[in-house]
Amino acid sequence: MAPTTTRPRTLAEKVWDDHLVRKGEDGEPDLIYIDLHLVHEVTSPQAFDGLRLAGRKVRRPDLTVATEDHNVPTIDTELPIADPVSRTQVETLRRNCAEFGVPLYPMNHAEQGIVHVVGPQLGLTQPGMTVVCGDSHTSTHGAFGAMAFGIGTSEVEHVLATQTLPLRPFRTMAINVNSEDGRLRPGVTSKDVILAIIAKIGTGGGQGHVLEYRGNVIDNLSMEARMTICNMSIEAGARAGMIAPDETTFAYLKGRERAPKGADWDAAVEAWRQLRTDEGAQFDREVDIDADELTPFVTWGTNPGQGLPLSERVPDPADFADENERVAAERALEYMDLEPGTPLRDIKIDTVFVGSCTNGRIEDLRSVAEILDGRKVADGVRMLIVPGSMRVRAQAEAEGLDKIFTAAGAEWRSAGCSMCLGMNPDTLSPGERSASTSNRNFEGRQGKGGRTHLVSPLVAAATAVRGTLSSPEDLS
């Protein structure tokens, strides 16, 4: 499997080498083994259909797991799904999983949730693995030192049939995030870090690359904060984001259902400790982020690279030197209905969404609860809090967070992708403006005509209280 080599290698190269079924010859791609295939209802029906047409079966149902997340309503989940097309899609997944023997966590199951929240919390996502899913935010799992990336439906079918993918090696990019003391400044979260990275390198900056996040700030982040960063690697155009596993990773995994036990655990940890970029290994590119300069970050435009510190003003398109960027900024401001020069803090918000595979985990909900405790959501503001999984929901309720949310006037929902992409009934109306802890501010992403500002959970909570884009330091 792993070639015997003394050449220093990056983390990404090590995981790649470990999964090489076959080295490509004469310009062919390599054939890479896939350790874990996550499936959901939106990108899989045509793949299962393809298998049926070709008379193929799922090669490794035991390395495949499905959940219902994109379409599911987050209220009245005991009732049949009202939208007949959504219902058909969910029912199709159930039929396909039953026919092909794929384990499924359906709505109302204790383990149901967003596919990228479910994998890690079960301990299925482990260091050094290859993880794929027909969803671009699969990069989330890279927080464990796994190589995890999103694929299209044809590739879903390919993995179902062969448990492999033909791939060309990715280039590598180090993103070094350091601060004086290895900490982020108060009120700054890993979401602000990744938004600042994307603003710096651009939505195409990571194209063809696996990003490896390194540095003392990354070392000190929790697993959930690391997942937030890796999650949005795709918004910088990267195939995947990775963080080398360390004691924080091992402590998170130990004792989880699908994590190794006993002697297997010890063997696993020993193997995982090798999963670090070697001294002297060359990245194709390196980017340095000075985390002491980071403050809460928000987006003003219609792609995740159009972001600025909250303390800034809406930019003037005339100030962009690049013609394409200037046109894109003009179009974005028109869509967002914003005037150049407006302080970002003056932007009034209609809806606040807390949730998604980016920021729908328990630590995110705790940080929101801390701000909302004893405060009220501003008049005229709607706040939706949607846990990333039913397990996160149960945990939040055990800690009494739901009481804080509802006392503040927020809506407390069941698990799913929800307003991140509005495939279920949770959508913005035309012209409605949101502060959202999700990952994409594309035109119409949260509902046709909806306007999205991407923010951290802390900014989301403070914004809900004040009604305008705010950070906790704006609250008295």
Q: Is 62 in the site for another protein (CB under 8 A)?
A: yes
In the bound complex, what is the minimum distance in angstroms from residue 192's beta carbon to another protein? 21
DSSP string, 305-357: T-EEETTSBPPPGGG--SHHHHHHHHHHHHHHT--TT-BGGG-B-SEEEE-HH
Residues 66-85 that bind another protein (CB under 8 A): 70-71, 83, 85
- Distance from C-alpha of 28 to C-alpha of 473, rounded to nearest angstrom: 55
375 burial (CB, 10 Å; 0-12 / 13-18 / 19+) is: middle
Q: Which one, 388 or 450, has the nearer CB to another protein?
A: 450
φ, ψ for residue 404 (rounded to 5)?
-60, -45
The string over 160-179, giving b where at least 16 C-beta atoms fall within 10 Å of a residue's C-beta and e elsewhere, is bbbbbbebebbbbbbbbbbb
**Three-state DSSP class for residue 452:** strand
In the bound complex, what is the minimum distance in angstroms from residue 340's beta carbon to another protein? 19
Q: Is 268 in the site for another protein (CB under 8 A)?
A: yes
Instruction: Output the six-digit token pair for 88.
Output: 């058909």
- Distance from C-alpha of 126 to C-alpha of 128, rounded to nearest angstrom: 6
Instruction: Output the six-digit token pair for 263.
Output: 């002697």
- Distance from C-alpha of 225 to C-alpha of 247, rounded to nearest angstrom: 15
Among 13, 30, 69, 135, binds another protein (CB under 8 A): 135
Among 7, 22, 109, 376, binds another protein (CB under 8 A): 22
Q: For another protein, how many residues bind (rule: CB under 8 A)? A: 82
Among 12, 14, 68, 89, binds another protein (CB under 8 A): 89
Among 13, 30, 35, 68, binds another protein (CB under 8 A): 35
Q: Is 331 in the site for another protein (CB under 8 A)?
A: yes
Binding mask 342-381 for another protein (x = CB under 8 A): ----------------------------------------
Q: Is 140 in the site for another protein (CB under 8 A)?
A: no
Residues 194-253 that bind another protein (CB under 8 A): 203-204, 207-208, 234-235, 237, 239
φ, ψ for residue 301 (rounded to 5)?
-115, -150
Among 68, 69, 155, 212, binds another protein (CB under 8 A): 155
Helix axes 390-398, 362-372, angle to 10 degrees: 40
Q: Is 8 in the site for another protein (CB under 8 A)?
A: no
Q: Is 357 annotated as a binding residue?
A: yes
- Distance from C-alpha of 359 to C-alpha of 365, rounded to nearest angstrom: 8
Q: Which of 151, 433, 204 is nearest to 324 (CA)?
A: 204
Q: Is 166 in the site for another protein (CB under 8 A)?
A: yes
- Distance from C-alpha of 35 to C-alpha of 412, rounded to nearest angstrom: 35
In the bound complex, what is the minimum distance in angstroms from residue 428's beta carbon to another protein? 12
Q: Is 429 in the site for another protein (CB under 8 A)?
A: no
- Distance from C-alpha of 163 to C-alpha of 60, rounded to nearest angstrom: 7
In the bound complex, what is the minimum distance in angstroms from residue 172's beta carbon to another protein? 14
Stretch that binds another protein, among 48-56, 188-196, 357-365, 385-393 (CB under 8 A): 48-56
For residues 281 and 6, the answer to whether their CB atoms sit within 8 Å is: no
Q: Which one, 212 or 402, has the nearer CB to another protein?
A: 212
Q: Which one, 368 or 384, has the nearer CB to another protein?
A: 384
Q: Is 14 in the site for another protein (CB under 8 A)?
A: no
Q: Is 417 annotated as a binding residue?
A: yes
Among 76, 448, 473, 475, binds another protein (CB under 8 A): 448
240 CB neighbour count, 10 Å cutoff: 27
Among 58, 72, 115, 124, binds another protein (CB under 8 A): 124
Among 17, 94, 106, 123, binds another protein (CB under 8 A): 123
Give the annotated binding-site residues for [4Fe-4S] cluster: 357, 417, 420
